[in-house]
Structure 1
Amino acid sequence: MTTERSGVLEGAIAPAENSKLFGHREAEAFLAQSYKSGKGHHAILVEGPEGIGKATLAFRFANHILNHPEPAEAPDSLGDPDPGSIVTRQLVSGASHNLLHLTRPIDEKTGRAKGAITVDEVRRAGKFFGQTSGSGNWRIVIIDPADDLNRNAANAILKILEEPPRRSLFLVLTHAPGKLLPTIRSRCLPLRLKPLDAGAMRQALALLGFDVTGANAERILAAAGGSVSEALKLINYGGLDIAEAFEEILKGQGPSVRKQMHKLADILSAKDSETIFDFFSSLLTGRVIQSAREAAAAGDIERAERLARLSGIFAERLALSDAYNLDRKQTILSLLDDLKDAS
């Protein structure tokens, strides 16, 4: 299961510890060469779906810079991090004085990650730059992901981006760049990563010990959509069963469907079900968006607009449920009812 304090899925390797990256050679080459030129941008917006390697790329690039602090003397490609080097050991342990990883903080009362990256977390960046200002070393901040910044935190980051300290680098990760403040996007150089192709997915999953030749392999690869994290949810968290139950509910009618809905809601609202609930939330909203696109392609603009509005309503209700700790089972049942009505 997900370790809330580490945010790492069962079966995954934490990005700071991962010495391998698959499927993003062009992005790696761009980062290495722009750094070596001495003309690299101070803030890079690494865009792409969740679970395709954005954080691993960010730590990989940070490792490269901290091992080669003079750009002109750096290699023109990113090599695999040396697990025995001091820089790598410091990054893995979180003890590096030259890198700050900003992510959602842990609520000490619940042991779960909070719903957003708060302004208090961003203030750590100010202290970080203050403590290292006289060292002459590179100072790197990874914001993971920037989608989780609340409004105050986003504005605080913006102020730093507007006047970046010398020899500083911001690696701003985002699953949905459209949700970020336009002013943050405008101060970053966009670097778009694509979902992994089948070959890269097989390599990544094989590294994690998954049998890519097994009976369910093709099914999982197809359902994962080029995301390793989605594949792990399908493999280790019952995601395939959840997806199948969801499809049966959408197709079914009558009292038996109501029983299926309650059974699914019970599973998704059980203790320690955060990861699979997030998986279901993405499945649900993704289905509405897909249906909206299909309606638009078929020329049914009215239905497409109605479904597009519904996807926004679903996202808002899910966020409110999380923020106010509402009864998750009732939220799920309500959302399924609304989706079936819309269908």
Structure 2
Amino acid sequence: MNGDSPGLLEGAIPPQTNTALFGHDAAQEFLATAYRSGRMHHAILIEGAEGIGKATLAYRFAHHVLSHPDPLEAPDRIADPDPHDAVSRQLASGASHNVLHLSRPVDEKTGKAKSVITVDEVRRAGKFFAQTSGTGNWRIAIIDPADDLNRNAANAILKILEEPPKRALFLVLSHTPGRLLPTIRSRCLSLRLEPLSAEDLDRALAHLGTAPGGTDSIADLSEGSVARALLLRNYGGAEIAEAFVDIIERGSLMNREPISALAEGLAARDRDIAYQFFTEFAVDRIQAMARAAGLSGDLAEADRLARLSAALREHFGTAAAYNLDRKQTVLGAFSLIFA
């Protein structure tokens, strides 16, 4: 992780300071056109896989709106932000009085991000919108991601969405919109981002100063996500993925040595991000297997794997909520898989 920005992957650029976005020209054009029409929806649900540029798009659009407060005089495209202009400097420093970024708060005792966005964080949004902008400009809340809202926080956000203040804009980010309250989804205009093409992924990595290309396994496992590519390259993600797939292909718990080795490695104190990668990769891999089974016509296997992916997600979520032992959590995951 980058020590200057909690939660930022090594090699990444914070979304609020990133001056380039790759692969989402149509989404940017849609937002610019909607804003310029003067009839833009007050809440945009920006959805898509993690690490493909949703937060960067949100900050680019926030910069666009704050730089052109009159929609009718706004340009028809979103330009790359000038890092030296006043709006960029305010966004980069977190000093903008017109933008509120809601994400999982840091636990003061552990120094780590909490597992959810709490209702106390959402109350900040209530106070934020209750204040009058000194410039009369837009007030923008970026919820990043809304998937992390706990039940009380989600209900609190819903109340604000139901009666939005004037000149208020919500940019609601979601990796898995199916996990959001249906009532929140219904209050938002959905804008789906697709994973990056191989070419755009290489361009994005080059922008980060990371050599594009790499092994075929990393290119395939990245699945169009810059964040996943960084995890695979910088945090041992490729080795974790290879070990997981190898264990799955063996098809049983008979050979416990590789399972124990993987669990031991992920339980180490300095493997927070690697462990998080494992939990997400395991669920994603089982989901991919379910889709493949469905496409091949094996509906019974597809249903079994879909249920397994949901059980794994719940298993990892419970472990995170109660700070359970990581080694036992990993071992328990394989017990579920091979039950």
Answer whether TM exceeds 0.5 for this pair.
yes
Contact 1:44–1:190 under 8 Å retained in 2: yes
The CA deviation at 1:334 is: 1.8
1:21-36 aligned within 5 A:
21-36=21-36
Partner of 1:63: 63
Structure 2 counterpart of 1:261, from 259, 262, 282:
259
The CA deviation at 1:136 is: 1.8
Contact 1:201–1:221 under 8 Å retained in 2: no
Q: State the one-letter code of the partner of 2:228.
A: E
Is 2:194 aligned against 1:194?
A: yes
Contact 1:5–1:112 under 8 Å retained in 2: no
Q: State the one-letter code of the partner of 1:187.
A: R
Q: Secondary structure at the match of 1:132?
A: coil
What is the alpha-carbon distance in structure 2 between the residues aligned to residue 5 and residue 266 of structure 1? 28
Task: Using the aligned pairs only, state the percent identity.
Answer: 59
Greater displacement, 250-259 / 44-53 = 250-259
The CA deviation at 1:325 is: 1.0
Contact 2:5–2:14 under 8 Å retained in 1: no
Instruction: String of CA shifts for 1:45-70, please: whole Å, max 9, x gaps.
Output: 00100000000000000001111111
Q: How many pairs were matched up?
A: 339
The CA deviation at 1:232 is: 0.2
Is 2:314 aligned against 1:316?
A: yes
Partner of 2:271: 273
RMSD: 1.8
The CA deviation at 1:299 is: 3.2
The CA deviation at 1:134 is: 6.2
- The gaps in structure 1 that reach 5 residues or longer are none
The CA deviation at 1:140 is: 0.3
Contact 2:312–2:336 under 8 Å retained in 1: no
Instruction: String of CA shifts for 1:212-261, please: whole Å, max 9, x gaps.
Output: 25xx3443222100000000000100111111111222234799931211
Q: Secondary structure at the match of 2:259?
A: helix
Partner of 1:227: 225
Contact 1:49–1:194 under 8 Å retained in 2: yes
Contact 2:98–2:133 under 8 Å retained in 1: no
Instruction: String of CA shifts for 1:251-295, please: whole Å, max 9, x gaps.
Output: 347999312111111111111322111211122112222222233
Q: Secondary structure at the match of 2:257?
A: helix
- The gaps in structure 2 that reach 5 residues or longer are none
169 and 253 in structure 1: CA distance in 2 versus 1, 3 angstrom threshold = closer
Q: TM-score, normalised by structure 2?
A: 0.95
Q: Secondary structure at the match of 1:220?
A: helix
Partner of 1:149: 149
Q: State the one-letter code of the partner of 2:195.
A: P
Partner of 1:209: 209
Contact 2:45–2:173 under 8 Å retained in 1: yes
Q: TM-score, normalised by structure 1?
A: 0.94
Q: Secondary structure at the match of 1:191?
A: strand
